Amino acid sequence: MDGSVYCGTIQRADSRAKETRRDHLNEKCDSETKTVESVIADLFEEYYDRVVRYIYVRISDQPEAEDLAGEVFLKALKSMGSYRGSVAQMRFWIFKIARNIVIDHYRKKGIRKTVNLDDVEIPDHSNVEELAERRLQVGELTKALKQLTGAQQEVIGLRFFAGLSSAETAQVLGKSSGAVREMQCDAIRKLRTLM
Long-range pairs, 28-35, Cβ under 8 A, ≥24: 28/86, 28/87, 29/87, 32/87, 34/87
Question: Which residue from 96, 98, 148, 162 is in contact with another protein, where contact means CB under 8 A?
Answer: 96
Report yes or no: 25 and 81 within 8 Å, Cβ to Cβ.
Answer: no
DSSP state of 157: I
Of 63 and 116, the one with the shorter C-beta distance to another protein is: 63
Question: Which residue from 84, 109, 112, 113 is in contact with another protein, where contact means CB under 8 A?
Answer: 84
**Contact status: 122 vs another protein (CB under 8 A):** no
**Contact status: 124 vs another protein (CB under 8 A):** no
Window contacting another protein (CB under 8 A); options: 8-16, 115-123, 146-154: 8-16
**Contact status: 104 vs another protein (CB under 8 A):** yes
* The dihedral sign for the CA sequence 13, 19, 25, 26: positive
Provide the mask over 43-62, with x wherever binding to another protein is found by CB under 8 A and - wherever it is not: -xx--xx--xx--x-----x
Report yes or no: 173 and 103 within 8 Å, Cβ to Cβ.
Answer: no
**Contact status: 87 vs another protein (CB under 8 A):** no
Of 63 and 119, the one with the shorter C-beta distance to another protein is: 63
Of 18 and 115, the one with the shorter C-beta distance to another protein is: 18
CB 89 to another protein: min, Å: 5
Closest by CA to 21, choosing from 85, 97, 73, 75, is 85
Window contacting another protein (CB under 8 A); options: 66-74, 115-123, 146-154: 66-74
**Rounded alpha-carbon distances, angstroms, from residue 42 to 64, 91, 158:** 23, 10, 20
R_g (Cα) of the chain, nearest Å: 19
Of 16 and 124, the one with the shorter C-beta distance to another protein is: 16
